[in-house]
Structure 1
């Protein structure tokens, strides 16, 4: 604990503890602020000490290199939420550290539709807003009203969805902050509508069963690559003959070729080698350049 901060700083924190791949070298400092004030204090501290700062979600779409990160990695953990009902519609305000899938289940049980497609989606609200997460016919952009952001480490603003530059698995938030302090999602406001909770929970159950059937067991980040227009990254990697390919303890899943699974003691370098192999082979055979969905630090 740094005595000048109202938040715990963990020095030399292995990021393998905070990523779903269970790999990654140490962050020079790691922190989990739970309020906007804590996030602002942390950003000011990092700037004062001339340390780069990276905001992350729950590490479900993140690969940290084995060398680690010389700076501060922080995961915002605020989980407050409020539901404002307006007859047959409602608005959900929810902080960025809240589980996306847990929120979807809670709302469905209450008879509110809009997020049930997110059942089983790993990660938190903030990551979904940054990456325009989506699956099973829905995505974040279609239900988000606006997002509360922290810009430059000190300025709290609210941006409507129209200003977030959404595209397939993309937003302006992914591209901002290459220089200086990157933006942090503090909360989002979502549009909901009433529906039969039994119908919603049945859909939740069907999505959960489908996910279980398709998702390889083991530590992974989910889909490694974005799907190219009109095609599937998994189909292309499988057609290239790479299913089951291993480097160290990292494996291109024999169940779903767009998953790379840590079979126990994989290193980030092993995963990066498989990523490059998949990109190179697919480009050579099919003329398609696969784009990463995962973030690499």
Structure 2
């Protein structure tokens, strides 16, 4: 593999410069720590850098894939062709980017897509705004949460969502979708239903939160984060592998099938929570897919239920 300096390029886009990484391993950008290389990769923490990267991709005739926090994502071992844009930022740097507005006794909160979801759960609780405390401890960023209608502890971002700001990669313009247009349902939206590479990138979201006691909300947020640490694995994983079938839980079915601890190569069904696969180090996407299919078969044979992946699988084999 080329040295770091040899794999970095500075390219000119009009009067601006853009740092581009060449043949960059995507395992560095996913919580699973799995994934082959991107032909080119740009890290963008704000909209101007995102637009600059998109302009360069258009100039070079490259397909574009945008990822956020890298959770809920399995990148195949062949990596991703074209340009990958990693669109995320540190929460503390975004404090000034959160916008508040009154709305008939509630508060409309505008969140950047790059904001870490766990930070948002804690920060809104500190501000005495109820509705996102379930997010404390969750990986990923707001943009990915909107696309996937992420949720936990009985809540989901679709429950409080008012509208979203999108960037159209084809027409190069900003759009606004209402909650109805997004159509959030269990771990799915109209954005997620689009084939990759997707046409739209989430720039931000407006949520409607109600006033609450900051001390109580912070206690709830911290309890949620602590519950995750106690009941879910903390090593490299992608979050819940399968969606829950109606009336039951994927983790329960996998556990009842006797698959806790079942392992293929360097990836294992977690002993702590059976709906999580744990990368033991150097695991490949091929091993993860083999384990996913083996679990699907075993559960289908024993219970007649075909588990559906919640994680997104992208890239080349």
TM norm. shorter chain > 0.5: yes
CA drift at 1:89: 1.8
Deviation at 1:109, TM superposition (A): 1.2
Separation in 2 of the partners of 1:141 and 1:243?
A: 32
Note the residue ranges of structure 1 that are not aligned, 5 or more in a row.
none
Matched, 1:169 2:215: no
Q: Deviations over 1:59-87 (max 9, x none)?
A: 01111111111211112236432122457
Which of the numbers 111, 126, 139 marks the counterpart of 1:122?
Answer: 139
Change beyond 3 A, Cα 1:7–1:81: farther
Structure 2: tracts of 5 or more residues without a match? 1-9
Counterpart in the other structure of 1:34: 45
The answer on 1:184 being equivalent to 2:239 is no
Task: Assess if the C-alpha contact under 8 Å between 1:147 and 1:188 holds in 2.
Answer: yes
Shift of 1:99: 0.9
CA separation in 2, counterparts of 1:284 and 1:291? 15
Secondary structure, aligned partner of 1:205: helix
Match of 2:226 in 1: 209
Matches for 1:1-297 after TM superposition, within 5 Å: 1-4=10-13, 6-77=17-88, 79=94, 80-86=97-103, 88-153=105-170, 154-178=172-196, 182-297=199-314
Does the C-alpha gap of structure 1 residues 3 and 47 become closer, same or farther in structure 2, counting only changes over 3 Å? closer
Residues 27-78 of structure 1: CA distance to partner in whole angstroms, max 9, x if unpaired? 0011122333432332343234332211111101111111111211112236
Aligned pair count reads 296
Alpha-carbon distance in structure 2 between the residues aligned to 1:245 and 1:39 = 41
Q: RMSD across aligned C-alpha pairs, in angstroms?
A: 1.7
Q: Distance in 2 between matches of 1:181 and 1:136?
A: 29
Check conservation: 2:266, 2:281, Cα contact below 8 A: yes
After superposing on structure 2, the runs of 4+ consecutive aligned residues of structure 1 that deviate more than 6 Å are none
* TM-score of the pair, normalised by structure 1: 0.94
SS in 2 for 1:8: strand
State the alpha-carbon separation in 2 of the partners of residues 217 and 115 from structure 1.
Answer: 22
